[in-house]
Copies of this chain bind each other. A is one copy, B any other.
Amino acid sequence: MGFLDYFRSSPRNTASVAKERLQIIVAHERRRSPAGPDFLPMLQKDLLDVVRKYIPIDEDQIKLSIERNGDCEVLELNIALSEGQGQR
């Protein structure tokens, strides 16, 4: 699983390490061009609602991006948590 390799090899001495973080990546790979709008933009609100069931997060804690590369669309949510905020 290449993704786990990515996490394992991430540099640990960056500023982002100073805080807890929650990262959500959704990749939708399709063989053909989409006939209509993708559902990933709609998914982003739903995903945040799900996370908020467990951790209270403010809008300013969230960085969001959607990128397309050929037939692959990737939604990325980066949520910076205060220390201890992710503990339950």
Contacts and interface: CB of A to CB of B under 8 A. Distances in A.
Interface of A is mostly: mixed
Contact of A28 (B17, B22, B34, B72): B22
A20 B29 CA distance: 6
A87 B30 contact: yes
A24 B21 contact: no
B76 A3 contact: yes
Given A4-B67, A27-B23, A30-B86, A46 B39 contact: no
B20 A7 contact: no
Given A39-B54, A50-B47, A54-B43, A3 B30 contact: no
Interface of A: 1-4, 6-8, 10, 17, 19-32, 34-39, 42-43, 46-47, 50-51, 53-55, 65, 67, 69, 72, 74, 76, 83-84, 86-88
